[in-house]
Amino acid sequence: MNDHPAPPSLATPYRSHTCGQLRPVDVGVTARLAGWVHRRRDHGQLIFLDLRDRHGLTQVVIDATESPEAHERASLVRNEFVVMVEGTVAKRMAGKENLDLPTGEIELRATSVEILSEAKTPPFYINEPDAPVDEALRLKYRYLDIRREPMQRRLLLRSRLVRAIHEVHQDHGFIEVETPDLIKSTPEGARDFIVPSRLQPGTVYALPQSPQQLKQLLMVAGIDRYYQIARCFRDEDMRGDRQPEFTQLDLEMSFVDEATVMAFVETMAIEVSRSTVPDRPILQVPFPRFTYDEAIERYGTDKPDLRFGMELVDIRSALVDVADHPMSTGFAVFDTALAEGLSVKAIVAPGLAGASRREIDELVETARRFGARGLVHVAVDEDGVRSPIGKFVGDRRLKIIATEAGAGPGDLVLIVADTAAITADVLGRLRVHLGERLGLTDPDVLAYCWVHRFPMYQWDDEHRRWDATHNPFSGVLPEDLALLDTASGDLAVRSPGDPAGRARAMQYDLALNGWELGGGSVRIHRRDLLERSFALQGQSVDGMRGKFGAVLDAFEYGAPPHGGIALGIDRWAMILSRQTNIREVTAFPKTQSGTDLMLDAPSAPDPGQYAELGLRYVGLSEREVGPGSR
Provide the phi-psi class of 204: left if phi over 0, else alpha when psi is between -120 and 50, else beta: beta
Query: In the complex with RNA, which residue's Cβ is closer, 125 or 610?
Result: 125
By CB under 7 A, the residues from 26 to 85 that bind RNA are 39, 41-46, 48, 50, 59, 61, 63-65, 78-79
Residue pair 265/565 in contact (Cβ under 8 Å)? The answer is yes
Between 16 and 67, CB nearer to RNA: 67
Compute the half-sphere exposure of residue 384: CA atoms within 13 Å on the CB side of its CA. 8
The residue from 133, 194, 282, 283 that contacts RNA (CB under 7 A) is 133
How do beta strands 46-53 and 56-63 pair? antiparallel
Q: Do the beta carbons of residue 338 and residue 397 sit within 8 Å?
A: no
Should residue 124 be labelled a site residue for RNA when binding is judged by CB under 7 A?
yes
What does the DSSP 8-state code read for residue 455? B
User: Would strands 448-452 and 289-291 be described as parallel, antiparallel, or unpaired?
Assistant: parallel
In the bound complex, what is the minimum distance in angstroms from residue 24's beta carbon to RNA?
A: 14
Cβ at position 316, least distance to RNA in Å: 26
Find the shortest distance in angstroms from Cβ 232 to RNA: 8
DSSP track, 65-130: TT-HHHHHHHTT--TT-EEEEEEEEEEPPTT---TTSTTTTEEEEEEEEEEEE--PPPSS-SS-TT
Cis? peptide before 496, omega within 30° of 0: no
Given 299, 331, 448, 454, the residue binding RNA (CB under 7 A): 454
Per-residue x/- mask for RNA, residues 185 to 204, rule CB under 7 A? ---xxxx-------------
The span from the CA of 142 to the CA of 445, in Å, is 30
Check binding of 100 to RNA (CB under 7 A): yes
CA-wise closest residue to 475 among 484, 488, 466: 484
Q: Which is nearer to RNA, 363 or 413 (CB)?
A: 363
Binding mask 415-434 for RNA (x = CB under 7 A): --------------x-----
The SS3 of residue 59 is: strand
Which CB atom, from 127 or from 387, has the smaller least distance to RNA?
Answer: 127
Closer to RNA by CB, 153 or 369: give it.
369
Burial annotation 598-614 (CB, 10 A radius, 16+ → b, else e): beeeeeeeeeeeeeebe
Q: Which amino acid is present at 437?
A: R
State which residue, 48 or 392, has the beta carbon closest to RNA: 48
Instruction: Answer left, alpha or beta for residue 489, where phi above 0 means left and psi between -120 and 50 means alpha.
Output: left
Smallest distance from the beta carbon of 507 to RNA, in angstroms? 7
Question: Considering the rule CB under 7 A, would residue 137 count as an interface residue with RNA?
Answer: yes
Per CB under 7 A, 579 contacts RNA = no
∠ CA 518-523-524, rounded to 5°: 155
- Among the listed ranges 99-107, 158-166, 318-326, 475-483, the one in contact with RNA (CB under 7 A) is 99-107
Q: What is the DSSP code (8-state) at residue 367?
A: H
Closest CA to 453 of 369, 387, 381, 509: 509
When the beta carbons of 79 and 441 are compared against RNA, the nearer one is 79
Q: Which of residues 301-330 bind RNA (CB under 7 A)?
A: 302
Sole window of 16-24, 176-184, 238-246, 386-394 interacting with RNA (rule: CB under 7 A): 238-246
The stretch near RNA (CB under 7 A) out of 273-281, 381-389, 397-405, 513-521 is: 513-521
Contact flag: residue 209 with RNA (CB under 7 A): yes
Which CB atom, from 403 or from 469, has the smaller least distance to RNA?
A: 469
Contact 106, 23 (CB under 8 A): yes
Residues 331-360 that bind RNA (CB under 7 A): none
* CA distances (Å), origin 324, targets 340, 388, 396: 22, 21, 10
According to the binding rule CB under 7 A, does residue 123 interact with RNA? yes
Residue choice 23, 54, 92, 184 for contact with RNA (CB under 7 A): 92
Q: Where do contacts with RNA occur on this chain (CB under 7 A)? A: 39, 41-46, 48, 50, 59, 61, 63-65, 78-79, 92-93, 96-98, 100-101, 104, 107, 121, 123-125, 131-137, 139, 188-191, 209-210, 234, 236-240, 242, 302, 369, 429, 454, 469-470, 516, 518-519, 566, 581, 583, 591-593, 595, 597
